[in-house]
Amino acid sequence: MTSTSKTSKFKVVLLGEGCVGKTSIVLRYCENKFNEKHLSTLQASYLEKKLNIGGKRINLAIWDTAGQERFHALGPIYYRESHGAILVYDITDEDSFMKVKKWVKELRKMLGNEICLCIVGNKIDLEKDRTVHVTRAEDYAQSVGAVHFHTSAKMNKGIEEVFLNLTKRMLAAQDDNTNTAGKQGGSRKSVVIIDDEPLQQSSGCCGSS
Contacts with another protein, residue ranges (CB under 8 A): 9, 11, 18, 22-23, 27, 39-46, 61, 63-68, 70-71, 73-74, 77-78, 80-81, 188-189, 204, 206, 208-209
Exposure of 108 by Cβ count < 10 A (0-12 exposed, 13-18 middle, 19+ buried)?
middle
CB of 203 to another protein, least distance (A): 9
How far CA 18 is from CA of 88, 179, 187, 203, in Å, comes to: 10, 40, 34, 37
Rg of the chain on CA atoms, in Å? 18
44 or 144: whose CB is closer to another protein? 44
Pairing of strands 84-90, 7-16: parallel
Pairing of strands 46-53, 56-64: antiparallel
Give the closest residue to 122 by CA, choosing from 76, 146, 87, 147: 87
27 or 86: whose CB is closer to another protein? 27
Q: What are the two backbone dihedrals, phi and then psi, of residue 148, each rounded to the nearest 5 degrees?
A: -100, 140
Question: Which residues lie across from 15 on neighbouring strands?
Answer: 87
23 or 148: whose CB is closer to another protein? 23
22 or 99: whose CB is closer to another protein? 22
d(CA 202, CA 93): 44
66 or 142: whose CB is closer to another protein? 66
Query: Cβ of 165: how many Cβ atoms within 10 Å?
Result: 15
Pairing of strands 116-122, 84-90: parallel
13 or 119: whose CB is closer to another protein? 13
CB of 146 to another protein, least distance (A): 21
